[in-house]
A and B are shown apart, each in its own frame.
Chain A
Amino acid sequence: MRILKLKKRDLTKFIDSTSGFGELWGARKKGERSAFSRLESAKDIDLEARRTILPPKKFMLPQSASMFKYDHNGYVEQLGKAPNRVLFGLHACDIHGILILDRLFMERYPDPYYSERRRKTAIIGTSCIPDEFCFCRETHTDTIEEGYDLFLSEVGSDFYLTWVGSSLGDDLVRTAEDLFDEGITVEDIQKFVDWKKWRERKFKLDIDLDGMPDIFELTLGNKAWDKIGDRCLACGSCSMVCPTCNCYNVIDTVALTKLEGDRRRSWDACTLCEYSLVAGGHNFRASRADRLKLWYTHKLQAFYGEFGKPSCVGCGRCLVTCPVDINVYTVAKTLRGEEVFFK
């Protein structure tokens, strides 16, 4: 892989030089937190941002988007309109999240809407410093080898190591090639290694996901689930903020006066009551406990069978979002039979 040095003070200049590739999006302060926002210039980027409120899945799978426009002649697909974007500041966990969505949407029965948006998005990842909610080390998503076009690792106070992950990434570098330096010294490598060790020590959350698939199988009928289910508000927030929640609903909107409208798809959540309701009124998952079971089984058990790892990327968004403190940490602990103190 091509690896280059970029001086920290040249970052804004470089990012702005890529504007010909598309709209610039990056993390920007929003109240006390930060959100991926459209930026005029790289100088508006919040470089200190930890996790954004919503994960970057919203770029590939928008909260609500038209699939078809229809009239009495039939359905016309709505493709080709997604903008080109340069997405700056994705952390390793979020890029892992996108890789998981890529599998779901671009392998078996490729989804043309997702694929188009994915192809039109350049991803510039950045290294990060974990806070008290991060547990990507436990989900093995604390580093990233693929899925990005460029990845900037912060090394010391003066430069980034720039990992070129794709031919598009290489094109991005070429927009301001004179800002990059190929001469990586032994000292630079040592600095990088030291930085990695320093970062390792920053993880604070003690979470144990070992053996989770078996634990799920063994606790499926356990009363612990009812306890968690009783707390759940079925608000769906966990699904909105999870980088790998991809469930959606499809509805037809209709004009008031004539037969035309949009077939739209929008985010859905398996914790919502009507998620598994079928014709005739039978609900396969009428209780909140049953629906939570599905959510957590999907994150911590089902994915192992096919891909050998959880579909949780350890970003910590469920920890900071759930209003009643149900999250990967408290659920894993509860299922292990450990005492959990909900906030």
Chain B
Amino acid sequence: MIDGGGDRQKTVNPFQPEMMRIVRRYNLTHDVRFFQVRPLEASRALALSYKPGQFMMLSNLGVGEAPFSISSTPSRPGLLEFCIRESGQLTSSLFRMKENDAIGVRGPYGNGFPIDRLKGKNLIITVGGLGAAPLRSLLQYALDNRDDFGEIYFLYGAKTPSEMLFRKEFLDMRERQDLHCLLTVDKDDTDKWPANVGLVTALFKQLKGIDPKNTFAATCGPPVMYRFVLQELLKLKIPKHQILMTLERRMKCGVGKCGHCVVKHIYTCIDGPVFSYWDVLNMKELIY
């Protein structure tokens, strides 16, 4: 009787996971596994839309739920891809899942990269380690819409060749004429590594004739990497608001309710996870 809105339209439950199917999974490194996931119905699979830089909440029945960045690009519809590192209860349980197992998915969430503002600009994408997971989405998106962007630089540093995600995919990319693909490892323990050895910051020496006003940078990696990469980007005189970073936080909802990802009045889940370097400077707690 109190609820006067009997005929009120039923709203979508933002917390409702949709059951999807694991299509394919294989190891990218010793502790990072690649998952391809697809809705049960083909029409639904093709209707999925998201932006590079967004994330989804993945659930395993009876274990729990956590946020994961999307590694695939919306320009290749039908499949969602995730790179997941085994690091806790939920991720360990995901590692036990096999092809055709059901996985709960909801999203996409977050602001994603501001694609409209990036159009027509040069891109410098710098990643370290697992940071390749969200930025592979932007890289592939830019390559699939190649005419929309200026020069594209992709700089990726991993500890060793075996720690590099999508090693073959990225090594092959070095042959592309429309991309500057610079890969490096801190240490080559194989003696067969065909690219650079050294820190990712050393790759910046190979960047020539950058026009900073017309360049956006996107970066993701471990906190220790940020400081040094940011210095290099500032040396190139790229404006702080054109340096974009995608950040990580604990999250339980994805829609600005549970409070875990809050920094001041900013919710990493809905106002981020992509922030500019200026945002980060302005909000001291955002990265450290």
Contacts and interface: CB of A to CB of B under 8 A. Distances in A.
Interface in B237-259: 248-250, 252-253, 255-259
Interface stretch (B12-20, B145-153, B168-176, B189-197): B12-20
B88 A279 contact: yes
A259 B248 CA distance: 31
Nearest to A167: B4
Interface residues of B, number: 45
Interface string A158-202: 000000000110000000000000000000000000000000000
B16 A77 contact: yes
Nearest to A107: B256
**4 smallest A-B Cβ distances: which pairs?**
A247-B259, A302-B265, A109-B255, A254-B62
Interface in B1-33: 1-5, 11, 13-19
B270 interface: yes
B2 A73 contact: no
A84 interface: yes
Interface in B75-108: 85, 87-88, 91, 102, 104
B250 A261 contact: no
A109 B102 contact: no
A249 interface: yes
B264 A74 contact: no
Contact of B1 (A20, A79, A305): A20
Contacts of B11: 110, 112, 115
Contacts of A133: none
A247 B102 contact: no
Contacts, number: 142
Given A112-B11, A252-B63, A277 B250 contact: yes
A252 to B, nearest CB: 5
B223 A250 contact: no
A119 B87 contact: no
A302 B249 CA distance: 19
A52 interface: no
A303 interface: yes
A203 interface: no
Nearest to B68: A279
A74 B104 contact: yes
Interface in B87-135: 87-88, 91, 102, 104
A240 interface: no
A277 to B, nearest CB: 6
A74 B102 contact: yes
A280 interface: yes
Contacts of B249: 276, 278, 284
Given A109-B255, A120-B3, A250-B253, A278 B63 contact: no
Interface string A284-308: 1100001000100110011101100
B2 A120 contact: yes
B262 interface: yes
B252 A248 contact: yes
Interface of chain A, main secondary structure = mixed
Contacts of B256: 104, 108-109
Given A68-B17, A263-B65, 11 more contacts: A72-B61, A247-B258, A248-B259, A249-B252, A250-B65, A252-B59, A252-B61, A268-B258, A276-B250, A298-B262, A302-B264
Contacts of B59: 75, 252
Contacts of A70: 61-62
A225 interface: no
Given A119-B2, A306-B265, A259 B61 contact: yes
Contacts of A84: 1-3
B208 to A, nearest CB: 36
Contacts of B17: 68, 74-75
A248 B104 contact: no
A246 B260 CA distance: 10
Interface in B48-87: 59, 61-66, 85, 87
13 contacts: A74-B18, A74-B19, A74-B102, A84-B3, A109-B14, A115-B11, A247-B260, A248-B253, A249-B258, A252-B61, A260-B62, A284-B285, A302-B265
